[in-house]
Amino acid sequence: MTSCIGSVVVLAAGQGKRMRSKLPKVLHSVCGRPMLLYVLEAARAVRPERLVVVVGHGHEQVLPWLPPDCVVALQEEQLGTGHALLAAAEQILPGSVLVLPGDTPLVTGEVLQTLVADHERLGAAATVLTMELDDPSGYGRVVRDADGWVLRIVEHRDATPEESAVHEVNSGMYVLPVPLALEILSEVGADNDQREIYLTDVIAGLRDRGERVAASRVADASLVLGVNSQEELAQAEAIMAGRHAADRRAGVSRQ
């Protein structure tokens, strides 16, 4: 199978203050392995030409864990997810780039293959992986237009009452066009209350240019669960342990 993905970029630069630990967030263990390694394993399923890892906080601790075929980019200041992608700009091949958070250990290769397949099938400039949550509090809402294309992604704190009622939310995983996405991020700047550049700025920039943005909705939201606290780490551990137990019963071996 030939993939349309030139590069996968895994964002692994964050400190993870809510983890209340000196260990870089992506190195916290799920069933005995740093959660970053699960993301890298899943990313290989789309057969990218290049696998890029953006490191930052505690990068000296992260680097020894990276497989030798990974390309490393350093985000010296952590100024948002969009800024992290810009930090990897020189390493990203032209074409479609799959961007993944490094703190989603439950994501599978099958989920990412479906995202990429949907992107190709729909013919959009970019595709966002979304999920439905009963309680979407804290997540960016995915607002679609009348034809089902993504109109914008609105952060929880900025959402109107009508937007807050939307249960489809952003997983933080995207297929984006390069170099156009990088050009948009370079133009955006950090003129917001957080003084950061977000990947969601690419979505707005593409729409402003008349491009179409699609959404690929994952059926099981737990597959894209982000780990931002010790409580969420324990939840991911329990789900992964159940997955491993099911594999053992089925005679499937995982690393």
Pairing state of beta strands 50-55 and 5-12? parallel
Q: Domains of the chain (ranges plus CATH)?
A: 5-250 (3.90.550.10)
Report, as an integer, the average pLDDT of 156-183. Answer: 95
Neighbours of 18 (CB within 10 A): 13
pTM of the model: 0.93
| Phi/psi-derived region of residue 53, left when phi > 0, alpha when psi is between -120 and 50, beta in every other case | beta
| Distance set, CA 204 to CA 23, 201, 212, 225, 254 (Å) | 34, 5, 10, 24, 39
Confidence of residue 248 (pLDDT cuts 50, 70, 90): confident
Whether 18 is a known active-site residue: answer yes
CB 9 within 8 A of CB 182: no
Report, as an integer, the average pLDDT of 78-103. Answer: 96
Q: Give residue 169's pLDDT.
A: 96
Report d(CA 154, CA 126) in Å as an integer: 17
For 105-145, the pLDDT digits (tens) are 999 999 999 999 999 999 999 999 999 999 998 899 999 99
| Distance set, CA 64 to CA 26, 86, 91 (Å) | 13, 23, 20
CB 168 within 8 A of CB 52: no
Backbone angles phi, psi at 169, to 5 degrees: -125, 165
The catalytically annotated residue of 18, 195, 209, 248 is 18
